[in-house]
Amino acid sequence: MLRKWLRKIPLIWQQLMKEKVRLLVALAGIAFADILVFANVGFESALFESSTSPHRNLHADLFIVNAHFETLYYVQSFPRQRLYQARGFAGVESVTPLHVSLGTWTNPETKRSQRILTFGVNPANRTFLFPEVSRNLHKLQSINHILFDRTSLPEFGPITSSFQKQGVVEAELNNTTVRVSGLFALGVSFAAYGNVITSDSTFLSLFPYRNLDKIEVGLVQLKPNTNVELIAHSLRDSLPADVMILTKKAFIEMEERYWSQTTPIGFIFSLGVLVSLIVGIVIVYQILYSDISAHLTEYVTLKAIGYSNSLLLGILSQEALFLAVLGYIPGFILTIGLYQITAVATMLPIYMTVERALIVLVLTSLMCFISGVIAMGKLHSANPADLL
């Protein structure tokens, strides 16, 4: 079967190269469809990766959240008492409260306001995995001192450059003067264009309506060689129903599920991939249909001398595969450049991966094969008697 397939390749190649303009148009159309697919898949991946960046960088094995938790960016609080209850379980090494809220940052130069994600931590405990944060936790013990995310968008002002020159920078957060005493790199997301870390005392002064006895996330660190799932199961059975106990994997998956199923943006990216594939199918179908129409006499002659429809479909499938591979190459190259431009402009984690490149190649081949099957309808209806 493979030998027969290889013997047909020269015929297909010559047929494609005969009409070079048509071939270039086909490749441009496929490359365009591939770029659309890559763009939507890339943005969707950046959506998930950026929105779960805090989850992945929190220093904890288990997380305690409100029973109605959906997303870290609009999280509801629960009683601090649940942390004390969890601390008493065998296998639990430490528990740490984490306050989270969206605050209002005032650009010190333009005086324009931007929403910024604010974390309140206990300076005595390690909360984030970032070495930069661990080294500067002691600086947060002073009231209204904060750590600023140096990967925040420029709309927050020249905080990073000013800090590197002066050592300390003053700005306004929730109409309160704060001092930037350190930098870290968490990254922007579709929900927050910047991030800051404060002490829990500073956090409560910046958000005075917050109750000291309420927290947004409880970080549970287990002892070494402890069964995470077993402790999580015990906590779920023992703690009241007003909280959920999540492993880090479940914590991340809930955030991804929120953005993919609850918000319109996740649906838009998924729909964009589908629409891009449909556009590609239509483009390739038009090319194959035009090719069949131009060589209808030859195809009908092949049918007349005994070629079955399945063999002709094989020829069209090979032609579609050639188009898929040849069109994929420029689309892939252009997408790498597009990713780089987008990453620099938006600060989002959008980049090419081997897995994504292979998935889009498979989708492109499938797209072209479907076009070949649809275009085969014209050959099915062709009758050798029409040559007479």
Per-residue pLDDT reduced to its tens digit, 211-227: 888 999 999 999 998 89
The pLDDT value given to residue 302: 67
Find how far residue 206's CA is from the centre of its chain. 31
Listed residue (373, 367, 371) closest to 273, CA to CA: 367
What six digits make up the tokens of 95?
């528990």
In the predicted structure, residue 317 carries a pLDDT above the cut 80? no
The pLDDT value given to residue 267: 84
**H helices of 19-158, where?**
20-51, 53-56, 81-87, 131-136
Share of the chain above pLDDT 90, in %: 52
pLDDT, tens digit, 9 for 90 and up, residues 122-141: 998 999 999 999 999 999 99
What six digits make up the tokens of 309?
């429809």
pLDDT, greater one: 4 or 166: 166
Q: Could you give the 3-state DSSP secondary structure of residue 277? A: helix
The pLDDT value given to residue 64: 96
Contact assessment for residue 327 and residue 38, using Cβ atoms and an 8 Å cutoff: no
Mean pLDDT value of segment 13-30: 74
Q: Give the span between the Cα atoms of 80 and 6, in whole angstroms.
A: 69
Contact assessment for residue 291 and residue 22, using Cβ atoms and an 8 Å cutoff: yes
Mean pLDDT value of segment 258-271: 86
The pLDDT value given to residue 82: 93
Residue 242: pLDDT band with limits 50, 70, 90? very high
Q: Give the span between the Cα atoms of 41 and 191, in whole angstroms.
A: 18
In the predicted structure, residue 5 carries a pLDDT above the cut 50? no
Mean model confidence pLDDT for the chain:
86
Point out the least confidently predicted range of 161-165, 260-264, 314-318: 314-318
The pLDDT value given to residue 221: 94
pLDDT, greater one: 122 or 6: 122
In the predicted structure, residue 383 carries a pLDDT above the cut 70? no
In the predicted structure, residue 385 carries a pLDDT above the cut 80? no
What six digits make up the tokens of 166?
């002066």
In the predicted structure, residue 308 carries a pLDDT above the cut 80? no
pLDDT, tens digit, 9 for 90 and up, residues 171-224: 999 999 999 999 999 989 888 899 999 999 999 999 988 888 899 999 999 999
Contacts of residue 111, Cβ cutoff 8 Å, sequence gap at least 6: none
The pLDDT value given to residue 11: 58
In the predicted structure, residue 13 carries a pLDDT above the cut 50? yes
Share of the chain above pLDDT 70, in %: 88
Residue 6: pLDDT band with limits 50, 70, 90? very low
